[in-house]
Structure 1
Amino acid sequence: MTPFEAISELKSQMSRSIIGQDTLIDRIVLTLLADGNMLLEGLPGLAKTRAIKTMAQHLECGLSRIQFTPDLLPTDITGTEIYQPEEKEKFHFQEGPIFSNLILADEINRAPAKVQSALLEAMEERQVTVAGKTYKMDPLFMVMATQNPVEQEGTYPLPEAQMDRFLIHTIIDYPDDAAELEILRLNKKENSGKKESEKVTIAQEQVFAARKEIAAIKVSEELEKYMVSLISATRYPDRYNAELAQWIEYGASPRGTIALDRCSRVNAWMEGKDYVSPENVHNVIKDVLRHRIALSYKGRAEGISMDQLIDKILEVVAVIA
């Protein structure tokens, strides 16, 4: 089985369990292949937790679920040293739930900044330092953090600068009526205890092999300049459009350019291509920039959504290909 066939099989297996959320499945797999972390926003009950659990079931890896609450401590995530007087080494490091392959950080905005920082440090550095000792994460490591857009009372919103560490920010909505009917029937089937077909498990090596192929995807010099221009339009909007300049408070960092390149290459690979086209850039740009641009007061007052703003950027920046 080739890496492409293996990842296609992983997506197929996930789609059997997660109905009506094709975008969610696509973006989780994209984040895994891009070796990044994902911020997922959606109302309760839209299969956010189910999605990453299903991926863990069909991928040869471990899963940790961390429920973020106001009383959570950083050591509840990273782990801590335990004193054991009967042993030669008096202090033994007890690993926290962050030491796994797939991490579900459920409702990350319900924990205070110190706890959020502990998670974000592990995401960025791929290591944890406790009592002067550094502990490395596994090579396959991905965090999917969820945010609930309702019930904002008593929450601690992620600072914009910290949100920049997430590769993508995906927003999901309710499934349509046809998908809802399929969900109902699937739930009945699962509750009836009927035996499912034999589970297919994808080896971690297939993910690493896919990443090597993605790294070889060609990006033309013209397309690289186009991506840079798109990011530049978020920083210096007055050079492109007067209306756009009134909507943007500040733009994306260089992380945004890097993320746009990585996600575009993954999107092209998932489509079976060996090169990136402008369409691949357009397919991922909203997820890449949604959390990296701040709306101005005027933009918020006019009710401009982030997706509308990004559509405007695509409209005013000329395609170079």
Structure 2
Amino acid sequence: MYEILKQIATPAIITGLISSLYAYFQKKKEDYRKYVYENKQENFKELVVYADELVDKGITNPDLEKLLFKISQKINPYGRKIKTFGKYQWIEDDGYVWYQIEIIEKKLASQILQIEDLKELAHRIQISKRLLDIKVENNIPLINSAKIWFNLFQYAMLLLQLFFIYSGYKSFIEQPTLLSSSLIFWLLVVVILIFLLPELSVNESDDRNPEIGITLLSFFIAGVDAWTAYYLFNNSFIAFLGGMGSLLLIVGEVISKAFIFGGSEIGKVSTIYIEEYRKLQGPELSKRRFINNFRVIPFFNKIKNLFHKDKREGNDDL
């Protein structure tokens, strides 16, 4: 068994596996883009016509209810009062369009509908079309500083894991022990988390558990790297440097991902419609606000709260 493992786990094969993992994530993005293009592009051609009809015929349109039904057939049905996912998913599922449709239906029943309500729905349809156009057209992402830093942090983390694997090749593969086998397993888990953690950090769930989970996973990654460094070099200082370097890199990766999301089209839309989403989630969110797109790590929220607390105390003293 160990002989087979030695033949399989060569540096070239390990590098190939990591490259395959990266290619897999890229292909998933391409498949999703193709899905969006083929299934929603035609719908939005009709939706734009409906949006024009909303504004042109106004509140006197005798077929307004029928027109609203046609619009609801062309948008994502999962966005209506969605509670299962976070704000990001609500935007993806056209939840903000559903919200305005329901407002119009209520006002129409109460005979207090105004043309501004219809214009707002038309505007939201245009936003949804804009989001779709970005997904379809943005085959090559625009280069900005946040994306550059994100790639640098991600590649640096991958290189660090490869360095550990290569440095411990003899211990991990040629003369494996229970401890070394455990370390190589957790290093491979860390490689997966390097790709997964940034995506989880901008999932925008309104439960505190994902925030805690992201923080714990960040320290877990740093702990695995520190443990591995100590095992390989038997030096506490090197283990400390390895762990701190790993922690800084993974935190930098998550923060840069948050900046990318905050500057994206969907990040802007989700910022605009924060309060609407909160209303639909019920009273459990009445005492807390959303995390800013640039504050995905709880540590920064604590700093922000402390700053505001000091500021309030200073005002009280005055």
Provide TM-score, normalisation by structure 2: 0.22
Larger proportion of helix: 2
> Larger C-alpha radius of gyration, 1 or 2?
2
Larger proportion of strand: 1
Provide TM-score, normalisation by structure 1: 0.22
